[in-house]
Amino acid sequence: MRKTETARSDKQMSEKKVRFHIPVRSLAPNAITVLALCAGMFGIRFAYLENWEAAVTAILVAGVFDGLDGSVARLLKGTSKFGAELDSLSDVISFGVAPALIMYMWVLSDVRGLGWLMSLVFAICMALRLARFNTVMKDDELGADVKAGYYTGIPAPASAALALLPMILYFEYNFEFLKDPKICSAYMAVICILTVSRIPTFSFKSLKIHKEHVIFVLLGIGVLASLIITDLWMTMSVIGMVYIISIPTIAILSKKK
């Protein structure tokens, strides 16, 4: 009897000693993910204050952080299930909820029910896309497109940027039709469909750079950085339009393969 009680006591003590530990090398990428989440939340705050350019900039900054956290995690060999889950939750807020609310406060609120519906649908589509992506990474059959070097549907950061593209174009060119709530609602509907679609889209993972071309790539990155600093909205407008053109192009090329 005493042996049984002792065994139970030892088991309870061992259970109490179990703690959830995160490797130190995982802290850096997770911290970057948290910064992406903070940027998304700041985007909502700036929109509430009607500081529209700052709101869009905050989402773009979140996209930069989102691109860095995975690379840093792989570099430090600090990938973890915790980091993957945190990244997905951060993406839902920064690239789903935040852009939806920003667009709603900017122009979609003018059509009330329809505008709110499109904002809601966009956030839902982003959550569905991220849930599918997490499932795809565990499924070899569905993950074949990832291995082939392209994404299925528009990835979260790109989807958020495209959702905000009317604002970006308006900042640069001041076209009044870009503030038409009905046009923006229809545009958001298209982005929602592309986000959850199975259309292959461009991925940098598919690019292979030869050693002799590295210098030109670095030069191009420097030029792009200079353009972003000197004229952010013009540069983002061009990038956005080029990305939109790439969607049908990649879809056609992938079928030929």
Q: H helices of 154-231, where? A: 156-163, 165-173, 181-196, 214-230
Q: Return the pLDDT at 21.
A: 63
pLDDT at 185: 95
pLDDT of residue 23: 65
> What's the confidence (pLDDT) of residue 216?
83
pLDDT of residue 8: 54
Q: CA–CA separation, 142 vs 58, rounded Å?
A: 33
* Nearest alpha carbon to residue 194 among 126, 96, 147: 126
pLDDT tens-digit series, residues 150-162: 788 899 999 999 9
Q: pLDDT for 27-44, tens place per residue?
A: 888 899 999 999 999 999
86 CB-side CA count, 13 A: 23
* Half-sphere exposure at residue 243, Cβ-oriented, CA atoms within 13 angstroms: 23
pLDDT at residue 70, as a whole number: 81
C-alpha count within 13 angstroms, C-beta hemisphere, residue 191: 34
| pTM strictly above 0.95 | no
Domains, in order of start, for the chain: 25-251 (1.20.120.1760)
Question: Model confidence over 69-81: pLDDT tens digits?
Answer: 888 888 877 777 8
3-class DSSP assignment, residue 155:
coil
Q: Look at residue 146 in the predicted model and tell me its pLDDT.
A: 53
